[in-house]
Amino acid sequence: MYQVFRKVVGIASENTYVIVNERNEALIVDPGAQAEMLIKWIEDNQWQPQAVLLTHGHFDHIGALDAVRQHFNVEAYIHQIEADFLVNPVLNLSAGMLNQEVRQQPAQHLWNNTGLQKIGAFEFRIELIPGHSPGHVVYIFEQASFVIAGDTLFNGSIGRTDFYLGSLSTLLSGIRTHLMCLTDDFMVYPGHGEATTIGKERLSNLYL
């Protein structure tokens, strides 16, 4: 039904994902940097982007947003709590961490609830898991048994919580509530590092 492809980009080695259906329609998730490379990758594969989904608004996940969405004439989605992260370098952490501050145009769509969502032929569920950032969401594709986890759950680890507005207890609570309820075979595609499964993390992740 869906295939998930990854490209590692930028100084933070961030995972940008493209989710493709049987009609070659695609969702782009977290275009973090190196816009020209991402655009060429998508065009070379003849994928047809329908939208850009953002898990959260930190600079390493949004750095190529404007270039990508403008090139493919698609719109972006982020949780309303982090709407200002796209335009505010302090909130998106680029101020002080990079030589150049990251500012993007506002997202055209703001998630204001959780649960089932649909964009074109794509159906998925979103859940809010704050702690790494206050409006961090994950995208759960139930029928295909995978989740785009952003910077919540990693292979053998979890997202950092020492950033502005971070909270370890909040992050752990969200992971346990919204991710550990998934079946062991669910693939987890994190914002950094290699993919894993819910079963592996349930068994061996020391944070959980």
CATH code for the domain of 144? 3.60.15.10
Distance between CA atoms of 40 and 17, rounded to whole angstroms? 14
Determine the pLDDT at residue 109: 98
Alpha-carbon distance values, 142 to 14, 22, 48, 148, 164 (Å): 24, 17, 22, 11, 32
pLDDT in tens, 30-68: 999 999 999 999 999 999 999 999 999 999 999 999 999
Band (pLDDT 50/70/90 cuts) for residue 96 is confident
Determine the pLDDT at residue 100: 87
Reduce the DSSP state of residue 34 to 3 states and report it. coil
Distance between CA atoms of 201 and 9, rounded to whole angstroms? 25
Q: Please say if the pLDDT value at position 28 is more than 90.
A: yes
Q: Please say if the pLDDT value at position 98 is more than 90.
A: no
**Any idea of the CA torsion for 166, 7, 94, 71, to the nearest 10 degrees?**
-120
Number of domains comprising the chain: 1
Domain residues for 91? Answer: 2-204
Q: Please say if the pLDDT value at position 164 is more than 90.
A: no
Distance between CA atoms of 43 and 148, rounded to whole angstroms? 22
pLDDT in tens, 6-20: 999 999 999 999 999
Residue 64, amino acid: A
Determine the pLDDT at residue 118: 97
pLDDT in tens, 68-94: 999 999 999 999 999 999 999 999 999
Strands, sheet with 14-21, edge to edge from the N-terminal-most edge strand: 2-9, 14-21, 25-29, 48-53, 76-79, 109-111
